[in-house]
Structure 1
C-alpha cells in the first residue's frame, strides 16, 4: 500500500527536478508516516504526482525518492534493475586484478538512497542506513546473490537497533570469510575485518589519493599521517619510498591495526613510528621538539571528541591546518582532506586560505580530488559528493 504525502510548494520544484532526499521540513502531513519501509507517493499541493520512494529516518531525512515514474512498482524487479546497472558500471573494477576492494553500490548515486554495498575480494558488505531500507533486505540480498558470484555477504546496521533484534557478528549468507581477509588496492594489500563493527580496516573513498601519495609525493620524504586509523596512507607512503612515516591516532586499536597493514605488505612496522595519542597533543609535542615534516596528511573525522578536544570540521578545520602548517617544512606538502558533507570545496579552500593568512604564510594549490569513479554521485544531490581533498605546497 502506498501512502500519499504532500510536499509544500516551497520545496516542490526541488523534488520535481530529482532531488532524492525526502526532508521532514518539506512534508505537509508527516503524521501519516508510521512504519518505516512504507512506500510513499509524493504529490504537490494540487495533488499532482512528483515521485515514489520509501519512508526511512536517516539524519535529516525522512526517506528517499526512488522513481519519478508513477507506474513503476518498488518490487524485486526494481531492485534487480538498479543493482544490475550498478554492477555493469563497475565492470572495469571487476576486471582489474590489482584492485579487489571497491564500492559496488553507492546509495542515491546508483538510485537507492540509504544503501551502500562494498565489494571485498568476493565478499559483499551491505550498509543499511535506516530501518526503512532494511525492510527491503530480502529483495536486495536476492538481487546480489542472483547476479554476482559472491562467496558471502556481511552487513552493518547503521541505525538504532534497540529492541529490534540481537546483533550477531554481521554475517548474512554464503560462506564465512577467513579474517583478516586480504584485499588489494592498486597492488597494495589491506587486512580487512567484515565482522568487527562499523570499521572494517580501510576507507575505500581515498583510493586515488593514496595512489597519488605513493606515486608522486612520498619518495625520500618524512611523512606525518594524522587521524591515521589503520595507517593506510602511511603504508602507501612507505611503499612509495618515504624516508620515514609517523602515524598518529587516539584509538588504542590503531597501533595493532597499523602494524598489521605494514606487515601484510612485507614492511617492518618497527622501522615506522606508530603513536597512540591525541593528534592535537602531538602537534604541540612536535613544535616543542622542533620536528618538521615534508608531507603532512590531515584526514580527520567530520566530528570527533576526545577528553580535551571536540573537533568539528566546519568550525575547526582552519585551526587544524594552522597546527599542520607550523610543522611542515618550507616547500613541503599538506594533504588536507574532509568528508564533511555540510560544506563544499569553495568553503574548504576558504579554510585553507584563512589558515595561511593567520600563519602569515604563502601556499600553492597543487591538485584536488573528490570521490573516485566507483562512488557514483547524483548530480541533483550535491551533498552526496562529500569528499574534498587538496594537496597544498607550503611556500613559506
Structure 2
C-alpha cells in the first residue's frame, strides 16, 4: 500500500483479510492494532463488504470531524456512500432529533458529549430501542470513547465493530476493564504488523511511551520498506514561532517536489498555532501546497497519514497536560518517511530523550563542558 487507501486485495496481510471477509456479518468483533496497521481501511472495506451484501443500514463512526472527512474520502475511494461516515456527536444529535428529544449544547466538547450520550441512553431505555435501529456500527478510534458512549453503540446496533489502539488515546477516557471485549462477545482480531511509519519514527515513538508493559513496542513489528526509502526524524530549535513557520515553509516547498502528489502534514499542539501557519501561507503561498498540505492540531490529525509530517510549536506541548505524550506519539506516527520537529526554548524532557535514541552515545562530560554556554 503506497497511498492512504488500498488498491487490490494483495495489499492486505492474512489478519487484515480475515477482519474484512472472514468474520460472519452478524458477528461483532474488536480490531486491535498499532498505528499504521490498517484499522481504518479495514473498517472501510468491511463497510464495502456489507454494501456488496446489501446490508447498507450501517454507519462508520468517527471521533473527530477531521477523521470523518478522511473516512468519507475512503468511502468514495472504495465506491460506497460517503454519507455513511459520521461523528459520534452528529450521530447522537440525529437520533435525538428523530425522536423529538430536546437538548441544549454548551459548545464545550466534554460536557456536550456527556450530555448527548446520556440523553441517547435514556431514550433507548424509555422507548425500548434495540439493535434493530442500525444493523452495523463500525467505530474507529474506540479507545477515545467513554463507557456510556460504547454502551450506546452496543444498544443501537445488531453488530458492533470496534477498532482501537490504547497507545493513541488522546482523551482522559478510562474504560471499565475489558469492556470493549465484553461488548463484542470476546471476539478479538489483533493486527501484529504495521506498514506506515519508518523505523526511526517507530524508535522515537517507542521511547516516548517508554513503559513497555503498558504500551507494547512497535518497532519490532515494523514492515515499512526501510531499505528502499530510509526514514528520518529531524529536530531543530528556533528563536520564535514565526521562525518555525518560515522553516516549515522552506522544508515543505522542497518536499512537494520530492514527494509529488503525496500528502504532507503540518501539526501543532494548539489551534492558534495552526491558524498562524494558515495565515503565513496566505501571505507567503507555496506552489502546489493547496493540493497536498494538511494543517491541523495534533488532536485533529488522528486517523490521517502523510509521507512527511512537520510537528511544530512544541514549546506549548506541556500545556496539553496528561495526554501530551500520547498526542506527540500519535502525531509522530502520522508520518511515513520523515518527521520534522520544531520548537523554541526547550522540549519536554521525555521527548528530548526520545529523540536522543537516534544519536550516537555522547561522551561523559567534564566540568569544563558543564560551564560552557549553550
Q: Do Structure 1 and Structure 2 share a fold, with TM-score over 0.5?
A: no
Larger RCO (alpha carbons 8 Å, 6+ apart): 2
Write 1 or 2 for the structure with the bigger share of helix.
2
Write 1 or 2 for the structure with the bigger share of strand.
1
